[in-house]
Amino acid sequence: MSAHDGLAEGFETHRSRLRAVAQRMLGSHSEAEDAVQEAWLRLARTEADAVHNLGGWLTTTVSRICLDMLRARASRREDPAGHPVPYEGPDPAAGGRPEQEAVLVDSVGRALLVVLDRLGPAERVAFVLHDMFVVPFDEIAPVVDRSLAAAKQLASRARRKVRGAPAVPGAELARQRLVIEAFLAASRAGDIDAVLAVLAPDVVRRADRAALPEGRPVEVRGARAVAEEIVVFGRNAHVAEPVLIGGAVGIAVAPYGRLQLALTVTTACERITGYELIADPNRLQQLDLALLDEAIALGG
């Protein structure tokens, strides 16, 4: 076996891990496959005796490729939320994306993918490498072209963003979550009675225009009127998850882990008293999103 044949065989033993790293950095199965393929092409052009630690070399190379892709995405001002779609529009899981993207969401987590999209390119790379794959900082620093101390700061800043800053104690967040999970379960089932059970009688639904189809009012009042709308919203509820929005429990609607709609929710006495649908890309980008489980754990 030639030296390059040995590299090719070694590459295959690392492929799955490289794909996992790239998927978490890029939030896309197809883009991750492109990054891994590019790493293989670079390896094929490299002298075998120049690669002393194949696993480390490949992880570094894939990470740099992903960082470049994330920076290019940011420079094109691509909105990770995608185009706004009405919350009662067609089921986003009905087609149009590879099945592998859905598998990625299942393996990584819809909420985590949404939150990772809020990180800067270097923050995301540092966080994924250190916190998710336990890569030491002395290997991360050259990838992000930072000093050792600066690489640690990148990961620390990303970690704070992922965890968020709860506005209320963890016990209160947990209570909010129970109400919102009941709301989502009823919406998914299309069960109007169960929806009514979690709505306050004078609940108010507000929305920005981008979240609504033509002709829908931006404000609806009263449990019955709101519940009838929610049954329609249930078409998208299966791609919705509770997240921390501005320190309180809200909902992210994110087909394939890409935020398209957010619901900020207010609760009282274990019922929803109001919520707002946000789909305008500029408003979505300004939201402070974090993982709910992390917030509850930190809140005690």
Q: What is the C-alpha to C-alpha distance for residues 110 and 261, in angstroms, rounded to an integer? A: 13
Residues 152 and 198 in one domain: no
Residues 126 and 253 in one domain: no
Domain boundary among 119, 136, 163: 163
Residues 203 and 248 in one domain: yes
Count the domains in the chain: 2
Residue 277 sits in a domain of what CATH number? 3.10.450.50
pLDDT in tens, 148-192: 999 999 999 999 999 988 888 888 999 999 999 999 999 998 899
Three-state SS letters, 18-82: HHHHHHHHHCCHHHHHHHHHHHHHHHHCCCHHHCCCHHHHHHHHHHHHHHHHHHHHHHCCCCCCC
Domain boundary among 117, 135, 163: 163
For residue 185, the model assigns a pLDDT of 93
For residue 4, the model assigns a pLDDT of 60
Phi, psi of 271 (to 5 degrees): -140, 155
Answer yes or no: is pLDDT of 139 > 90. yes
Residue 95 sits in a domain of what CATH number? 1.20.140
pLDDT in tens, 198-254: 999 999 999 999 988 888 899 999 999 999 888 766 778 889 999 999 999 999 999
pLDDT in tens, 40-52: 999 988 887 788 8
Residues 179 and 282 in one domain: yes
For residue 277, the model assigns a pLDDT of 95
pLDDT in tens, 60-80: 999 999 999 999 988 775 544
Query: With the CA atoms of 155, 160, 163 and 168 taken in that order, what torsion angle do they form, in degrees rounded to the nearest 10?
Result: 170
For residue 98, the model assigns a pLDDT of 58
* H/E run at residue 97: none
Write out the residue range of the structural domain in which residue 176 sits.
170-299
pLDDT in tens, 95-129: 445 577 788 888 889 999 999 999 999 999 999 99
pTM score of the predicted model: 0.84
Domain boundary among 146, 163, 180: 163
Answer yes or no: is pLDDT of 21 > 60. yes
Residues 140 and 61 in one domain: yes
Q: How many CB atoms are located within 10 Å of the residue 11 CB?
A: 17
Q: What is the mean pLDDT of residues 254-273?
A: 94
Answer yes or no: is pLDDT of 91 > 60. no
